[in-house]
Chain A
Amino acid sequence: MLPSFYLMSVAFMSNGPYGLPQMPLTLQSFQELAGFGFLGWSPGNLYTLARSLWQTLIATGLVILIAYPLAYFISTQPPGRRPLMLLIVVVPSWTNQVIRAFGWMNILAPDAPLSSLAASADLIPSEMGLFPSNFAVVLGLVYNFLPFMVLPLYASFERLDAEIVQAAHDLYAKPINVFRHAILPQTLPGLMAGTVLVSIPAFGMYVIPELLGGGKSMMIGNLVARQFAAASNWPLGAAAALIMILATLGGLLVLRRLGRRLGGGKEVVL
Protein backbone atom coordinates (compact mmCIF):
# COMPACT_ATOMS: atom_id res chain seq x y z
CA MET A 1 0.00 0.00 0.00
CA LEU A 2 2.75 2.42 0.90
CA PRO A 3 4.72 2.00 -2.32
CA SER A 4 1.61 2.41 -4.39
CA PHE A 5 0.87 5.63 -2.60
CA TYR A 6 4.42 6.62 -3.19
CA LEU A 7 4.20 5.92 -6.89
CA MET A 8 0.80 7.50 -7.15
CA SER A 9 1.94 10.81 -5.77
CA VAL A 10 5.04 10.74 -7.90
CA ALA A 11 2.94 10.00 -10.95
CA PHE A 12 0.65 12.81 -9.98
CA MET A 13 3.47 15.27 -9.73
CA SER A 14 4.78 14.50 -13.15
CA ASN A 15 1.34 14.33 -14.61
CA GLY A 16 1.32 17.98 -15.49
CA PRO A 17 4.22 17.94 -17.92
CA TYR A 18 3.09 14.66 -19.44
CA GLY A 19 -0.47 15.83 -19.76
CA LEU A 20 0.61 18.67 -22.02
CA PRO A 21 1.41 16.87 -25.25
CA GLN A 22 -2.07 15.39 -25.47
CA MET A 23 -3.78 18.72 -25.66
CA PRO A 24 -3.35 20.12 -29.18
CA LEU A 25 -5.70 18.12 -31.35
CA THR A 26 -4.28 19.15 -34.69
CA LEU A 27 -0.59 18.88 -33.98
CA GLN A 28 -0.75 15.79 -31.86
CA SER A 29 2.34 13.90 -32.83
CA PHE A 30 4.79 16.61 -33.77
CA GLN A 31 3.66 19.42 -31.54
CA GLU A 32 6.97 19.53 -29.79
CA LEU A 33 8.84 19.89 -33.01
CA ALA A 34 6.41 22.49 -34.25
CA GLY A 35 6.83 24.39 -31.04
CA PHE A 36 10.55 24.33 -31.35
CA GLY A 37 10.36 25.25 -34.98
CA PHE A 38 8.14 28.17 -34.23
CA LEU A 39 10.46 29.34 -31.53
CA GLY A 40 13.32 29.15 -33.98
CA TRP A 41 11.67 31.22 -36.70
CA SER A 42 10.36 34.23 -34.94
CA PRO A 43 13.09 36.47 -33.56
CA GLY A 44 10.69 38.05 -31.04
CA ASN A 45 10.66 34.94 -28.94
CA LEU A 46 14.39 34.56 -29.24
CA TYR A 47 14.82 38.11 -28.02
CA THR A 48 12.68 37.23 -25.04
CA LEU A 49 14.85 34.24 -24.31
CA ALA A 50 18.03 36.26 -24.65
CA ARG A 51 16.58 39.00 -22.48
CA SER A 52 15.70 36.50 -19.78
CA LEU A 53 19.25 35.20 -19.74
CA TRP A 54 20.75 38.68 -19.79
CA GLN A 55 18.56 40.02 -17.01
CA THR A 56 19.16 36.96 -14.89
CA LEU A 57 22.88 37.44 -15.37
CA ILE A 58 22.86 41.12 -14.43
CA ALA A 59 20.59 40.58 -11.45
CA THR A 60 22.69 37.70 -10.16
CA GLY A 61 25.86 39.76 -10.52
CA LEU A 62 24.34 42.68 -8.64
CA VAL A 63 23.03 40.40 -5.93
CA ILE A 64 26.52 38.99 -5.44
CA LEU A 65 28.03 42.47 -5.23
CA ILE A 66 25.46 43.57 -2.66
CA ALA A 67 25.36 40.39 -0.63
CA TYR A 68 29.08 39.74 -0.33
CA PRO A 69 30.02 42.67 1.92
CA LEU A 70 26.75 42.30 3.77
CA ALA A 71 27.32 38.66 4.63
CA TYR A 72 30.86 39.50 5.74
CA PHE A 73 29.61 42.33 7.92
CA ILE A 74 27.05 40.09 9.62
CA SER A 75 29.73 37.49 10.29
CA THR A 76 31.89 40.07 12.07
CA GLN A 77 29.15 40.97 14.52
CA PRO A 78 28.87 39.49 18.03
CA PRO A 79 27.35 35.98 17.76
CA GLY A 80 24.29 36.88 19.83
CA ARG A 81 23.25 39.53 17.38
CA ARG A 82 23.70 37.58 14.16
CA PRO A 83 20.44 35.58 14.12
CA LEU A 84 18.45 38.78 14.49
CA MET A 85 20.39 40.45 11.68
CA LEU A 86 19.80 37.49 9.40
CA LEU A 87 16.13 37.54 10.29
CA ILE A 88 15.99 41.23 9.42
CA VAL A 89 17.43 40.47 5.99
CA VAL A 90 15.07 37.59 5.37
CA VAL A 91 11.74 38.90 6.67
CA PRO A 92 10.88 41.11 3.69
CA SER A 93 11.06 38.06 1.44
CA TRP A 94 8.36 36.39 3.51
CA THR A 95 5.82 38.89 2.33
CA ASN A 96 3.97 37.95 -0.79
CA GLN A 97 5.90 38.60 -3.99
CA VAL A 98 3.00 40.50 -5.50
CA ILE A 99 3.17 42.94 -2.60
CA ARG A 100 6.91 43.35 -2.96
CA ALA A 101 6.58 44.18 -6.63
CA PHE A 102 3.73 46.51 -5.73
CA GLY A 103 6.01 48.35 -3.30
CA TRP A 104 8.41 49.08 -6.12
CA MET A 105 5.56 50.17 -8.35
CA ASN A 106 4.70 52.76 -5.71
CA ILE A 107 8.27 53.99 -5.54
CA LEU A 108 8.88 54.05 -9.28
CA ALA A 109 5.47 55.41 -10.26
CA PRO A 110 5.46 58.32 -12.74
CA ASP A 111 4.75 61.13 -10.28
CA ALA A 112 6.74 59.74 -7.37
CA PRO A 113 9.83 61.66 -6.20
CA LEU A 114 12.36 59.16 -7.53
CA SER A 115 10.94 59.35 -11.03
CA SER A 116 10.88 63.13 -10.97
CA LEU A 117 14.51 63.06 -9.93
CA ALA A 118 15.44 60.75 -12.77
CA ALA A 119 13.43 62.89 -15.16
CA SER A 120 15.14 66.08 -14.05
CA ALA A 121 18.49 64.38 -14.62
CA ASP A 122 17.31 63.66 -18.17
CA LEU A 123 17.56 59.93 -17.67
CA ILE A 124 13.97 59.35 -18.68
CA PRO A 125 11.25 61.39 -20.40
CA SER A 126 9.46 63.42 -17.76
CA GLU A 127 5.96 62.05 -18.28
CA MET A 128 7.12 58.47 -17.84
CA GLY A 129 7.84 56.66 -14.62
CA LEU A 130 10.81 54.47 -13.94
CA PHE A 131 8.59 51.49 -14.52
CA PRO A 132 7.71 49.66 -16.72
CA SER A 133 11.29 49.14 -17.83
CA ASN A 134 14.13 46.65 -17.90
CA PHE A 135 15.71 48.63 -15.11
CA ALA A 136 12.68 48.07 -12.89
CA VAL A 137 12.68 44.35 -13.64
CA VAL A 138 16.34 43.95 -12.68
CA LEU A 139 15.74 46.01 -9.55
CA GLY A 140 12.80 43.82 -8.64
CA LEU A 141 14.82 40.65 -9.22
CA VAL A 142 17.69 41.90 -7.07
CA TYR A 143 15.25 42.87 -4.33
CA ASN A 144 13.51 39.53 -4.47
CA PHE A 145 16.53 37.29 -4.37
CA LEU A 146 19.01 39.14 -2.17
CA PRO A 147 18.30 37.01 0.93
CA PHE A 148 18.93 33.81 -1.01
CA MET A 149 22.49 34.96 -1.59
CA VAL A 150 23.11 36.45 1.85
CA LEU A 151 22.23 33.27 3.75
CA PRO A 152 24.60 30.78 2.05
CA LEU A 153 27.36 33.38 1.88
CA TYR A 154 26.96 34.09 5.56
CA ALA A 155 27.19 30.37 6.29
CA SER A 156 30.49 30.30 4.40
CA PHE A 157 31.86 33.36 6.17
CA GLU A 158 30.91 31.90 9.51
CA ARG A 159 33.09 28.89 8.83
CA LEU A 160 35.89 31.00 7.37
CA ASP A 161 39.28 30.12 8.75
CA ALA A 162 40.50 33.55 9.88
CA GLU A 163 44.02 32.27 10.43
CA ILE A 164 44.56 31.80 6.72
CA VAL A 165 43.50 35.39 6.14
CA GLN A 166 45.77 36.53 8.96
CA ALA A 167 48.65 34.55 7.49
CA ALA A 168 48.11 36.26 4.15
CA HIS A 169 48.26 39.64 5.90
CA ASP A 170 51.38 38.63 7.74
CA LEU A 171 53.01 37.77 4.46
CA TYR A 172 52.28 41.32 3.27
CA ALA A 173 49.91 40.24 0.58
CA LYS A 174 48.12 43.09 -1.13
CA PRO A 175 44.46 43.33 -0.08
CA ILE A 176 43.36 42.18 -3.51
CA ASN A 177 45.57 39.11 -3.25
CA VAL A 178 44.37 38.38 0.26
CA PHE A 179 40.87 38.38 -1.11
CA ARG A 180 41.72 36.25 -4.12
CA HIS A 181 43.77 33.61 -2.41
CA ALA A 182 42.57 33.55 1.16
CA ILE A 183 38.96 34.69 1.28
CA LEU A 184 37.39 33.86 -2.06
CA PRO A 185 38.28 30.14 -2.17
CA GLN A 186 36.86 29.65 1.30
CA THR A 187 33.54 31.32 0.53
CA LEU A 188 33.16 29.77 -2.89
CA PRO A 189 30.78 26.98 -1.83
CA GLY A 190 28.41 29.57 -0.39
CA LEU A 191 28.79 31.72 -3.47
CA MET A 192 27.93 28.81 -5.75
CA ALA A 193 24.95 27.75 -3.66
CA GLY A 194 23.72 31.34 -3.65
CA THR A 195 24.15 31.63 -7.40
CA VAL A 196 22.02 28.53 -7.91
CA LEU A 197 19.38 29.79 -5.52
CA VAL A 198 19.25 33.20 -7.19
CA SER A 199 19.77 32.63 -10.88
CA ILE A 200 17.50 29.64 -11.42
CA PRO A 201 14.33 31.07 -9.92
CA ALA A 202 15.18 34.48 -11.38
CA PHE A 203 15.26 33.00 -14.86
CA GLY A 204 11.75 31.62 -14.46
CA MET A 205 10.30 34.67 -12.75
CA TYR A 206 6.81 35.62 -13.77
CA VAL A 207 5.37 38.18 -11.38
CA ILE A 208 8.15 40.76 -11.45
CA PRO A 209 8.52 41.15 -15.23
CA GLU A 210 4.76 41.15 -15.56
CA LEU A 211 4.22 43.94 -13.05
CA LEU A 212 7.42 45.95 -13.34
CA GLY A 213 8.36 45.20 -16.91
CA GLY A 214 5.27 45.67 -18.99
CA GLY A 215 5.12 44.35 -22.55
CA LYS A 216 8.58 45.52 -23.54
CA SER A 217 10.63 43.58 -21.05
CA MET A 218 8.94 40.23 -21.07
CA MET A 219 10.91 37.33 -19.79
CA ILE A 220 10.41 33.76 -20.84
CA GLY A 221 7.97 33.06 -18.02
CA ASN A 222 5.64 35.72 -19.38
CA LEU A 223 5.98 34.35 -22.86
CA VAL A 224 4.84 30.97 -21.60
CA ALA A 225 1.96 32.43 -19.63
CA ARG A 226 0.84 34.48 -22.58
CA GLN A 227 0.65 31.45 -24.85
CA PHE A 228 -1.70 29.82 -22.38
CA ALA A 229 -3.83 32.82 -21.56
CA ALA A 230 -4.33 35.45 -24.22
CA ALA A 231 -2.68 34.02 -27.32
CA SER A 232 -3.76 30.49 -26.48
CA ASN A 233 -1.10 28.78 -28.51
CA TRP A 234 -0.60 25.89 -26.15
CA PRO A 235 2.00 23.94 -28.14
CA LEU A 236 4.22 26.99 -28.38
CA GLY A 237 3.76 27.71 -24.71
CA ALA A 238 4.53 24.12 -23.87
CA ALA A 239 7.66 24.19 -26.00
CA ALA A 240 8.84 27.36 -24.30
CA ALA A 241 8.05 25.82 -20.94
CA LEU A 242 10.08 22.79 -21.89
CA ILE A 243 12.98 25.04 -22.78
CA MET A 244 12.64 26.67 -19.38
CA ILE A 245 12.78 23.31 -17.65
CA LEU A 246 15.78 22.22 -19.70
CA ALA A 247 17.54 25.52 -19.07
CA THR A 248 16.82 25.16 -15.38
CA LEU A 249 18.17 21.64 -15.21
CA GLY A 250 21.12 22.52 -17.44
CA GLY A 251 22.00 25.53 -15.33
CA LEU A 252 21.71 23.40 -12.25
CA LEU A 253 24.07 20.78 -13.60
CA VAL A 254 26.64 23.30 -14.83
CA LEU A 255 26.67 25.17 -11.54
CA ARG A 256 26.88 21.94 -9.59
CA ARG A 257 29.81 20.75 -11.60
CA LEU A 258 31.54 24.13 -11.41
CA GLY A 259 30.86 24.19 -7.71
CA ARG A 260 32.31 20.76 -7.24
CA ARG A 261 35.44 21.64 -9.17
CA LEU A 262 36.01 25.06 -7.63
CA GLY A 263 34.63 24.28 -4.21
CA GLY A 264 37.23 21.63 -3.53
CA GLY A 265 34.99 18.63 -3.97
CA LYS A 266 32.37 19.92 -1.57
CA GLU A 267 28.84 19.17 -2.63
CA VAL A 268 26.78 22.28 -3.19
CA VAL A 269 23.62 21.70 -1.28
CA LEU A 270 20.45 22.88 -2.88
Chain B
Amino acid sequence: MRRTTFHNGLRAWWYIVLLFLYGPLAIVVLFSFNSTRTYSSFRGFSLEWYAKLFANETIVNAIYNSLTLAIVSSILATVLGAILGYGMYRYRHLNLGWLIWLIYLPLVMPDIVYGISQMTFFVTINQATGLLEPGLLTMIIAHISFQIPFVALLVYSRLLQLDPLLFEATQDLYATPWQRAWYFIIPTLHAALISSFFLSFTLSIDDFVISFFTAGPESTTLPIFIWSAIKKGITPEINAIATLMIGAVFTAAAISYAIQRARPVSKPSQQ
Protein backbone atom coordinates (compact mmCIF):
# COMPACT_ATOMS: atom_id res chain seq x y z
CA MET B 1 0.00 0.00 0.00
CA ARG B 2 2.64 2.50 1.04
CA ARG B 3 4.84 1.27 -1.73
CA THR B 4 2.28 2.18 -4.39
CA THR B 5 1.86 5.70 -3.03
CA PHE B 6 5.62 6.00 -3.11
CA HIS B 7 5.67 4.80 -6.66
CA ASN B 8 2.91 7.13 -7.75
CA GLY B 9 4.88 9.93 -6.20
CA LEU B 10 7.87 8.98 -8.31
CA ARG B 11 5.73 8.85 -11.41
CA ALA B 12 4.35 12.31 -10.66
CA TRP B 13 7.91 13.53 -10.15
CA TRP B 14 8.86 12.18 -13.57
CA TYR B 15 6.09 14.22 -15.22
CA ILE B 16 6.98 17.33 -13.23
CA VAL B 17 10.59 17.07 -14.33
CA LEU B 18 9.49 16.52 -17.93
CA LEU B 19 7.48 19.71 -17.69
CA PHE B 20 10.53 21.46 -16.30
CA LEU B 21 12.75 20.13 -19.08
CA TYR B 22 10.43 20.77 -22.00
CA GLY B 23 8.56 23.82 -20.77
CA PRO B 24 11.13 26.41 -21.82
CA LEU B 25 11.54 24.84 -25.24
CA ALA B 26 7.79 24.56 -25.70
CA ILE B 27 7.39 28.23 -24.85
CA VAL B 28 9.96 29.18 -27.46
CA VAL B 29 8.15 27.14 -30.10
CA LEU B 30 4.73 28.44 -29.07
CA PHE B 31 5.68 32.09 -29.20
CA SER B 32 7.36 31.70 -32.55
CA PHE B 33 3.84 31.27 -33.94
CA ASN B 34 2.38 34.16 -31.98
CA SER B 35 0.87 36.88 -34.11
CA THR B 36 1.79 39.73 -31.78
CA ARG B 37 4.99 40.80 -30.14
CA THR B 38 3.94 40.34 -26.53
CA TYR B 39 4.97 37.51 -24.26
CA SER B 40 2.10 37.78 -21.85
CA SER B 41 -0.35 35.90 -24.01
CA PHE B 42 -0.78 33.97 -27.19
CA ARG B 43 -2.88 35.88 -29.70
CA GLY B 44 -3.46 33.66 -32.65
CA PHE B 45 -1.39 31.66 -35.03
CA SER B 46 0.88 33.25 -37.59
CA LEU B 47 3.89 32.39 -39.70
CA GLU B 48 4.90 36.01 -40.01
CA TRP B 49 8.20 35.61 -38.15
CA TYR B 50 9.32 32.72 -40.30
CA ALA B 51 8.73 34.74 -43.43
CA LYS B 52 10.82 37.57 -41.99
CA LEU B 53 13.49 35.09 -41.06
CA PHE B 54 14.14 33.78 -44.52
CA ALA B 55 14.06 37.24 -45.98
CA ASN B 56 16.93 38.18 -43.68
CA GLU B 57 20.24 37.68 -45.42
CA THR B 58 22.29 37.81 -42.22
CA ILE B 59 20.48 34.78 -40.89
CA VAL B 60 20.88 32.77 -44.06
CA ASN B 61 24.56 33.67 -43.96
CA ALA B 62 24.81 32.60 -40.33
CA ILE B 63 23.31 29.20 -41.16
CA TYR B 64 25.82 28.83 -43.97
CA ASN B 65 28.71 29.80 -41.65
CA SER B 66 27.62 27.38 -38.93
CA LEU B 67 27.48 24.48 -41.36
CA THR B 68 30.80 25.30 -43.02
CA LEU B 69 32.49 25.61 -39.66
CA ALA B 70 31.05 22.35 -38.36
CA ILE B 71 31.79 20.28 -41.46
CA VAL B 72 35.30 21.54 -42.17
CA SER B 73 36.45 21.44 -38.55
CA SER B 74 34.99 17.97 -37.95
CA ILE B 75 36.70 16.46 -40.98
CA LEU B 76 40.08 17.93 -40.06
CA ALA B 77 39.69 17.14 -36.37
CA THR B 78 38.83 13.53 -37.16
CA VAL B 79 41.99 13.14 -39.25
CA LEU B 80 44.31 14.93 -36.81
CA GLY B 81 42.70 13.38 -33.74
CA ALA B 82 43.02 9.91 -35.22
CA ILE B 83 46.72 10.52 -35.86
CA LEU B 84 47.15 11.76 -32.30
CA GLY B 85 45.24 8.80 -30.92
CA TYR B 86 47.38 6.44 -32.97
CA GLY B 87 50.52 8.18 -31.75
CA MET B 88 49.34 7.82 -28.15
CA TYR B 89 48.78 4.13 -28.75
CA ARG B 90 52.00 3.54 -30.63
CA TYR B 91 54.18 5.23 -28.02
CA ARG B 92 52.21 4.23 -24.94
CA HIS B 93 55.25 2.45 -23.50
CA LEU B 94 57.02 5.81 -23.15
CA ASN B 95 55.10 6.63 -19.99
CA LEU B 96 53.22 9.59 -21.37
CA GLY B 97 50.86 10.08 -18.48
CA TRP B 98 51.56 13.78 -18.25
CA LEU B 99 50.84 14.23 -21.95
CA ILE B 100 47.52 12.52 -21.54
CA TRP B 101 46.76 14.98 -18.77
CA LEU B 102 47.56 17.78 -21.17
CA ILE B 103 45.15 16.30 -23.66
CA TYR B 104 42.49 16.01 -20.99
CA LEU B 105 42.87 19.65 -20.06
CA PRO B 106 40.70 21.10 -22.85
CA LEU B 107 38.02 18.59 -21.91
CA VAL B 108 37.72 19.81 -18.34
CA MET B 109 38.71 23.42 -18.77
CA PRO B 110 35.77 25.85 -18.64
CA ASP B 111 34.97 26.75 -22.23
CA ILE B 112 35.15 30.45 -21.44
CA VAL B 113 38.79 30.07 -20.42
CA TYR B 114 39.45 28.00 -23.48
CA GLY B 115 37.80 30.49 -25.82
CA ILE B 116 39.65 33.41 -24.29
CA SER B 117 43.02 31.72 -24.41
CA GLN B 118 42.44 30.95 -28.07
CA MET B 119 41.42 34.53 -28.67
CA THR B 120 44.47 36.03 -26.99
CA PHE B 121 46.65 33.60 -28.88
CA PHE B 122 45.17 34.60 -32.22
CA VAL B 123 45.24 38.28 -31.41
CA THR B 124 48.90 38.08 -30.41
CA ILE B 125 49.83 36.32 -33.60
CA ASN B 126 47.76 38.73 -35.60
CA GLN B 127 49.51 41.71 -34.06
CA ALA B 128 52.90 40.19 -34.64
CA THR B 129 52.49 38.92 -38.16
CA GLY B 130 49.20 40.14 -39.56
CA LEU B 131 48.11 36.55 -40.12
CA LEU B 132 45.08 34.90 -38.59
CA GLU B 133 42.61 37.74 -38.81
CA PRO B 134 39.63 36.78 -36.58
CA GLY B 135 37.11 35.07 -38.81
CA LEU B 136 36.04 31.72 -40.07
CA LEU B 137 39.62 30.47 -40.24
CA THR B 138 40.42 31.20 -36.60
CA MET B 139 37.09 29.65 -35.60
CA ILE B 140 37.90 26.52 -37.55
CA ILE B 141 41.31 26.26 -35.86
CA ALA B 142 39.78 26.81 -32.43
CA HIS B 143 37.09 24.23 -33.04
CA ILE B 144 39.55 21.68 -34.34
CA SER B 145 41.72 22.11 -31.29
CA PHE B 146 38.90 21.35 -28.88
CA GLN B 147 37.52 18.50 -30.99
CA ILE B 148 40.89 16.74 -31.32
CA PRO B 149 41.06 15.45 -27.72
CA PHE B 150 37.65 13.82 -28.01
CA VAL B 151 38.59 12.11 -31.27
CA ALA B 152 42.00 11.09 -29.96
CA LEU B 153 40.57 9.50 -26.82
CA LEU B 154 37.89 7.69 -28.81
CA VAL B 155 40.44 6.30 -31.27
CA TYR B 156 42.90 5.49 -28.49
CA SER B 157 40.35 3.51 -26.51
CA ARG B 158 39.36 1.61 -29.64
CA LEU B 159 42.98 0.75 -30.39
CA LEU B 160 43.52 -0.46 -26.84
CA GLN B 161 40.86 -3.09 -27.42
CA LEU B 162 42.83 -4.58 -30.32
CA ASP B 163 45.18 -7.47 -29.98
CA PRO B 164 48.71 -6.01 -30.24
CA LEU B 165 49.74 -9.13 -32.13
CA LEU B 166 47.71 -7.90 -35.09
CA PHE B 167 50.25 -5.13 -35.61
CA GLU B 168 53.05 -7.64 -35.63
CA ALA B 169 51.12 -9.76 -38.08
CA THR B 170 51.03 -6.90 -40.58
CA GLN B 171 54.77 -6.57 -40.21
CA ASP B 172 55.27 -10.25 -40.75
CA LEU B 173 53.37 -9.88 -43.99
CA TYR B 174 55.86 -7.20 -45.09
CA ALA B 175 53.28 -4.44 -45.20
CA THR B 176 54.76 -0.99 -45.65
CA PRO B 177 53.56 1.61 -43.14
CA TRP B 178 51.22 3.03 -45.74
CA GLN B 179 49.80 -0.35 -46.61
CA ARG B 180 49.37 -1.07 -42.97
CA ALA B 181 47.48 2.17 -42.49
CA TRP B 182 45.32 1.62 -45.54
CA TYR B 183 44.49 -2.08 -45.26
CA PHE B 184 44.49 -2.57 -41.51
CA ILE B 185 44.29 0.52 -39.32
CA ILE B 186 41.75 2.57 -41.20
CA PRO B 187 39.29 -0.31 -41.78
CA THR B 188 39.58 -1.32 -38.13
CA LEU B 189 38.91 2.20 -36.94
CA HIS B 190 36.12 2.76 -39.44
CA ALA B 191 33.31 2.87 -36.88
CA ALA B 192 35.32 4.88 -34.36
CA LEU B 193 36.16 7.43 -37.04
CA ILE B 194 32.56 7.81 -38.09
CA SER B 195 31.38 8.34 -34.54
CA SER B 196 34.29 10.75 -34.01
CA PHE B 197 33.12 12.77 -36.95
CA PHE B 198 29.57 12.98 -35.67
CA LEU B 199 30.71 13.78 -32.15
CA SER B 200 32.92 16.59 -33.48
CA PHE B 201 30.08 17.85 -35.62
CA THR B 202 27.74 17.97 -32.63
CA LEU B 203 30.35 19.66 -30.48
CA SER B 204 30.93 22.29 -33.13
CA ILE B 205 27.26 23.01 -33.82
CA ASP B 206 26.55 23.12 -30.11
CA ASP B 207 29.38 25.40 -29.22
CA PHE B 208 28.73 29.02 -28.57
CA VAL B 209 31.36 30.36 -26.20
CA ILE B 210 34.48 29.37 -28.11
CA SER B 211 33.05 30.57 -31.42
CA PHE B 212 31.97 33.80 -29.81
CA PHE B 213 35.47 34.72 -28.73
CA THR B 214 37.25 33.69 -31.89
CA ALA B 215 34.75 35.01 -34.42
CA GLY B 216 35.28 38.01 -36.61
CA PRO B 217 32.66 40.45 -37.87
CA GLU B 218 32.03 38.46 -41.05
CA SER B 219 31.79 35.02 -39.53
CA THR B 220 28.65 35.12 -37.40
CA THR B 221 27.26 31.68 -36.70
CA LEU B 222 23.69 30.96 -35.77
CA PRO B 223 24.22 30.85 -31.99
CA ILE B 224 26.23 34.08 -32.13
CA PHE B 225 23.49 35.71 -34.16
CA ILE B 226 20.88 34.64 -31.64
CA TRP B 227 23.07 35.83 -28.79
CA SER B 228 23.51 39.32 -30.18
CA ALA B 229 19.84 39.49 -31.09
CA ILE B 230 18.88 38.57 -27.53
CA LYS B 231 21.22 41.23 -26.20
CA LYS B 232 19.29 43.79 -28.20
CA GLY B 233 15.98 42.54 -26.84
CA ILE B 234 13.73 39.52 -27.14
CA THR B 235 11.87 39.37 -30.42
CA PRO B 236 9.64 36.74 -32.01
CA GLU B 237 12.13 36.29 -34.85
CA ILE B 238 14.56 34.79 -32.36
CA ASN B 239 11.85 32.39 -31.33
CA ALA B 240 11.43 31.39 -34.94
CA ILE B 241 15.14 30.62 -35.51
CA ALA B 242 15.36 28.90 -32.16
CA THR B 243 12.35 26.78 -33.09
CA LEU B 244 14.04 25.69 -36.30
CA MET B 245 17.16 24.70 -34.36
CA ILE B 246 15.13 22.83 -31.74
CA GLY B 247 13.32 21.06 -34.56
CA ALA B 248 16.62 20.01 -36.12
CA VAL B 249 17.89 18.60 -32.83
CA PHE B 250 14.71 16.64 -32.19
CA THR B 251 14.72 15.24 -35.71
CA ALA B 252 18.32 14.13 -35.28
CA ALA B 253 17.48 12.55 -31.92
CA ALA B 254 14.51 10.70 -33.40
CA ILE B 255 16.60 9.42 -36.31
CA SER B 256 19.40 8.20 -34.06
CA TYR B 257 16.88 6.48 -31.79
CA ALA B 258 15.23 4.81 -34.79
CA ILE B 259 18.62 3.61 -36.05
CA GLN B 260 19.49 2.21 -32.63
CA ARG B 261 16.21 0.37 -32.43
CA ALA B 262 16.65 -1.05 -35.91
CA ARG B 263 20.00 -2.58 -34.94
CA PRO B 264 19.60 -3.39 -31.25
CA VAL B 265 22.66 -5.64 -30.88
CA SER B 266 25.44 -4.12 -32.98
CA LYS B 267 26.43 -1.13 -30.96
CA PRO B 268 28.84 0.69 -33.23
CA SER B 269 32.39 1.29 -32.02
CA GLN B 270 33.78 3.21 -29.08
CA GLN B 271 34.57 2.53 -25.46
Taking a contact as CB atoms under 8 Å apart, the answer to whether A103 and B28 are in contact is yes
The B-contacting residues of A in range 213-252, CB under 8 angstroms, are: 221, 224-225, 228, 234, 237-238, 241, 244-245, 248-249, 252
Q: B259 interface residue, CB < 8 Å from A?
A: no
User: Which residues of the partner chain A approach B102 to less than 8 Å between Cβ atoms?
Assistant: 10, 13-14
The residues of A that contact B107 with a CB separation of less than 8 Å are 270
**CB of B163 to closest CB in A, whole Å:** 21
Q: Using a CB–CB distance below 8 Å, which chain B residues touch chain A?
A: 7, 10-11, 13-14, 17-18, 20-25, 27-28, 31, 38-40, 80, 83-84, 86-88, 90-91, 99, 102-114, 116-121, 124, 145, 148-149, 202, 205-206, 208-209, 213, 222-223, 226-227, 230, 234, 238-239, 242, 245-246, 249-250, 252-253, 257, 260
A17 at the interface (CB under 8 A from B): yes
In the complex formed, the residue of A with least CB distance to B106 is: A13
Q: Which residues of B contact A224 (CB under 8 A)?
A: 112-113, 116
When distances are taken between beta carbons in the complex, the residues of chain A under 8 Å from B226 are 96, 98-99, 102
What is the distance, in angstroms, from A183's C-beta to the closest C-beta of chain B? Answer: 13
Given A16-B121, A207-B208, A70 and B113 contact (CB-CB distance below 8 Å): no
Which of A40-48, A107-115, A258-266 lies at the binding interface? A107-115
Smallest CB gap from A21: residue in B: B120
CB distance from B241 to the nearest CB of A (A): 9
A22 to B110, CA, bound (A): 22
Report the interface size class on chain A: 35 or more
A221–B239 alpha-carbon span in the complex (Å)? 26
13 contacts between A and B (CB under 8 A): A2-B91, A5-B84, A16-B120, A19-B121, A88-B18, A92-B21, A95-B249, A102-B242, A103-B23, A104-B24, A106-B31, A116-B40, A224-B116
Q: Are A107 and B108 in contact (CB under 8 A)?
A: no
Q: A87-B253, A92-B22 are in contact. Are A3 and B110 (CB under 8 A)?
A: no
Give bound CA distance, A91 to B38, whole Å: 28
Question: Which residues does chain B contribute within 8 Å of A105, judged by CB atoms?
Answer: 230, 234
The DSSP consensus for interface residues of chain A is helix
CA distance A242 to B156 in the complex (A): 29
Task: Decide if A73 is an interface residue (CB 8 Å cutoff).
Answer: yes
Pick from A3, A107, A238, A252: contact of B24, CB below 8 A: A107
Judging by beta carbons under 8 Å apart, are A111 and B209 in contact? Answer: no
| Neighbour of A70 across the interface among B7, B17, B106, CB < 8 A | B17
A73 touches B11 (CB 8 A): yes
Which residues of A, 54-78, contact B by the 8 Å Cβ criterion? 66, 69-70, 72-74, 76
Which residues of chain B come closer than 8 Å to A107, judged between CB atoms?
Answer: 23-24, 27
A87 — nearest CB in chain B belongs to which residue? B257
Given known contacts A112-B39, A224-B116, A94 and B253 CB-to-CB distance under 8 angstroms? yes
Shortest C-beta distance, B253 to chain A (Å), equals 5
A125 at the interface (CB under 8 A from B): no
Cα–Cα distance between A111 and B38 once the two chains are bound (Å):
8
> Shortest Cβ distance from B84 into chain A, in angstroms?
5
Given A10-B103, A12-B145, verify A146-B116 contact (CB < 8 Å).
no
The 9 A-B pairs of least Cβ separation, nearest first, read A204-B110, A16-B117, A103-B24, A6-B87, A19-B121, A206-B112, A73-B10, A221-B112, A111-B40
Q: Is the CB of A248 within 8 A of B246?
A: no
Chain B binding surface, main DSSP class: helix
Contacts of A96 in B (CB 8 A): 205-206, 208, 222-223, 226, 245
**Interface of A toward B, CB cutoff 8 Å:** 2-3, 5-6, 9-10, 12-17, 19-20, 22-23, 66, 69-70, 72-74, 76, 83-84, 87-89, 91-92, 94-100, 102-107, 109, 111-113, 116, 143, 146, 200-201, 203-207, 211, 221, 224-225, 228, 234, 237-238, 241, 244-245, 248-249, 252, 270
Q: Give chain A nearest CB distance to B107 CB in angstroms.
A: 8
Is B21's CB under 8 angstroms from A143's CB? yes
Q: Are B39 and A73 in contact (CB under 8 A)?
A: no
Knowing A76-B10, A94-B202 are in contact, say whether A111-B39 is a contact too (CB < 8 A). Answer: yes
A102 to B202, CA, bound (A): 20
Give the Cβ gap from B168 to chain A, nearest Cβ, in Å: 18
Query: Is A72 a contact partner of B106 (Cβ separation < 8 A)?
Result: no
Q: Give the complex CA separation of A93 and B118 in angstroms.
A: 25
CA of A145 to CA of B102, assembled, Å: 25
Cβ–Cβ < 8 Å partners of A100 in chain B: 24-25
A234: chain B residues at CB < 8 Å are 120
- The answer, among B108, B149, B208, B238, for a CB contact under 8 Å with A13, is B149
Given contacts A91-B250, A206-B110, could you give 10 more A-B pairs where the C-beta distance is less than 8 Å? A10-B84, A13-B105, A16-B114, A92-B21, A94-B202, A96-B206, A99-B28, A112-B39, A203-B110, A204-B109
Contacts of A204 in B (CB 8 A): 109-113
Contacting pair A69 B23 (CB below 8 A): no
Set of chain A residues within 8 Å of B38, measured between Cβ atoms: 111
Cross-interface CB contact of A103 among B18, B25, B110, cutoff 8 Å: B25
